[in-house]
Amino acid sequence: MLNVFDYERLARELLPPPVWDYIAAGADDEVTLAENRRAFERIALRPRVLVDVSLTDIATVLLGEAVAAPIMIAPTAMHGAICADGEIATAQAAGRAGVVMVAAARSNRTIEEIAAAATAPIWFQLYQFTERERTLALVRRAEAMGCRALVLTVDAPRWGRKERSLRTEAEFEWPYAGNMAGLPAPTSKTIDGAPVTWADVDWLQSKTQLPLVLKGITSGEDAAIAVARGVAAITVSNHGGRQLDGTIASLDALPEVVAHAGGRCEIYLDGGIRRGTDVLKALSLGAHAVMVGRPVLWGLATAGADGAGNVLQLLKAELKRAMALAGRPTLADMDRSALI
């Protein structure tokens, strides 16, 4: 298992087809899914030489907390369909790597179970329910469990149509989303996406002292509105190509968002990270950190917490090697001059 792609190939062999299709699928023709990768391949690195790179340092601070690397585990659902221990294994992997795990609201294990297994910072991802009391109940649980931030997904007013997954999803008995137990009853049985507006952002900020991260912004205009409302961070993301097909790749959207944010909040990049050189490119374009989704799931599928932890360690080692070869021994050395 020399790289992340080795884990991808093995995970595809090991997982039931419906679970693999659920993980791998993008929306419609999967154009944006592919573009997330091609965006990294279009950018070339511009190395410097004769630089002292005997020591490379990838430790950083995210939302005021020290972490071992500018790499986070993105919020993804249904870990219990991939690994028997589900998100408990993911939390253990994050702890071994010293990185942030963003636990999904629709995780199979509850936030209480995830937090109990965590030895690194846990952030909690939210979808906005139609009934605000349901959302608030999850917020209070996240606060009680010591979560350090809330990550509100804002790009899902409707669910993208993931045709690859739709063809096979009925063939598998999916585990229950544990965090949904014990919430106030929904007023509607039909949930098509998670509509959220700027009024919901304002409401959520008025209800908690936790830093708020908006995940799913790809335009400068929305970034400017977000920072004007005082959000702590923005995650540039097209939902892994799973929502609106044909939209801009996350990496291509990053410079515009960084420019409009103007240094007033932290910026993260989600989508397409497969190599340490990808992390270097994102950081050089202004991201403070990246989120990694599917590769962590591939690691879970192959060897549970050990597999997911190995994926994270591979990415960390590749980042350090790329920094040394690029003549950029610290994160502060990375800027647009590192790229062509």
User: Does residue 175 contact residue 108 with C-beta atoms inside 8 Å?
Assistant: yes
Q: What is d(CA 93, CA 181) in angstroms, rounded to the nearest whole number?
A: 25
CA distances from 170 to 14, 19, 21, 165, 166 (A): 19, 10, 12, 9, 8
Q: Which amino acid is at 303?
A: A
Q: Tokens for 263, please give them.
A: 């240094």
Our CA angle for 99, 82, 243, nearest 5°, is: 75
Closest CA to 40 of 255, 194, 271, 207: 271
Catalytic annotation, residues: 239
Concatenating the DSSP letter of every residue in 42-92 gives HPPB----S---SS-B--EEETTEEESSSEEEPP-S-GGGT-TTTHHHHHH
d(CA 143, CA 2): 39
Task: DSSP letter for 134, please.
Answer: H
User: Which among 91, 143, 151, 141 has a CA at the least distance from the CA of 121?
Assistant: 91
Structure tokens at 207: 């209800």
Residue 65 sits at the vertex; the CA angle it makes with 115 and 108, to the nearest 5 degrees, is 25
Cβ–Cβ under 8 Å, residues 149 and 126: no
